Amino acid sequence: MSSYVENLYHYPIKGLTAQPLQKVALSKGQGFPIDRAFGFARPESGFDPNDPKPLPKTKFVMLAREEGLALLDTHFDEVTETLSISRGRNKASFDLASSSGREAASSFLADLLGFPPDLQPTLYSAEPHKFTDVSVVSPEMMNSVSLINLNSVKHFSQVIGQSVDPARFRGNLLFSGFPPFSELDLVGQRIALGEIEMKVVLRTKRCPATQVNLQSGKRDLDIPKLLQEHLGHSNMGIYAEVLSSGNLKLGDEVRLIK
């Protein structure tokens, strides 16, 4: 059975809206460009943009704790470095290249989520640091790519008798064609995606963020619990390290390198 790249996404700001891509240029040892490049750190997180160190995701505003993030419509323009945030009639844009713009974005987000003044987060960036969930594992994992097998999501939906949106898993790359959950057995092996070569390095253990329905902003499915109950594990997806530089686009073939 042939396998293909079906969707490509990056997430410029940790916890906020996925932005679809038609193609992406990847570099050896690096993840998706402009992916989790910004993060809203909680007060007293200890993050220092002048000496960035990976911190647990609990130090940042995230879906696992703030399901209201799902109701925000956000977009980051990497050319102008402008972040747009809207929820209903509340709309605003911020220049993230300036400290005043980042501070204003932090204040606007805090108001939308109902944070008291003493809990207002601070928006940080510290290129090439990425605010990925697995950044605490190693520098290599910080720059890994998240892959989701759509057949695994489909099979999981059938097993639990409810439709599961693949977007819950916030992957960079969604592909079709591989048998359900066969990707979990690829750790340590190499795969080719178009002209790009990657090495699968880790299974993705799922957290409470996946409980959130991205349309309603409500926790309506306990994904980690359901995975464990029905499949005997709480994994959905894999992380892979980029071994070669090149271009990746929708429709590129995905195959195992034997």
Percent of the chain surpassing pLDDT 70? 100
Q: What confidence tier does 258 reach under pLDDT thresholds 50, 70, 90?
A: confident
pLDDT in tens, 194-229: 999 999 999 999 999 999 999 999 999 999 999 999
- As a whole number, mean pLDDT of residues 121-142 equals 93
Structure confidence at residue 1 (pLDDT):
66
pLDDT at position 27 over 70: yes
What is the distance between the alpha carbons of residues 119 and 55, in angstroms, rounded to a whole number? 18
What is the CB neighbour count within 10 angstroms for residue 219? 16
Among the listed residues 35, 50, 68, the one whose alpha carbon sits nearest the alpha carbon of residue 134: 35
Structure confidence at residue 237 (pLDDT):
98
Architecture of domain 4-31+136-257: Beta Barrel (2.40)
- Cα dihedral: 97, 13, 52, 30 (round 10): -100
- As a whole number, mean pLDDT of residues 14-43 equals 97
- As a whole number, mean pLDDT of residues 161-181 equals 98
What is the distance between the alpha carbons of residues 128 and 30, in angstroms, rounded to a whole number? 9
- As a whole number, mean pLDDT of residues 58-84 equals 97
Domain extents for the chain? 4-31+136-257, 38-130
Structure confidence at residue 138 (pLDDT):
87
Work out the mean pLDDT of the chain and round it to a whole number: 96
Q: Give Cβ neighbours of residue 257 (< 8 Å, ≥ 6 apart).
A: 189, 190, 191, 192, 197
Q: What confidence tier does 14 reach under pLDDT thresholds 50, 70, 90?
A: very high
With contact defined as beta carbons under 8 Å apart, do 177 and 151 qualify? yes
- As a whole number, mean pLDDT of residues 20-27 equals 98
Lowest mean pLDDT among 136-145, 177-186, 217-226, 234-243: 136-145
pLDDT at position 76 over 80: yes
What is the distance between the alpha carbons of residues 222 and 156, in angstroms, rounded to a whole number? 13
Sign, CA torsion 210/215/220/221: negative
pLDDT at position 96 over 90: yes
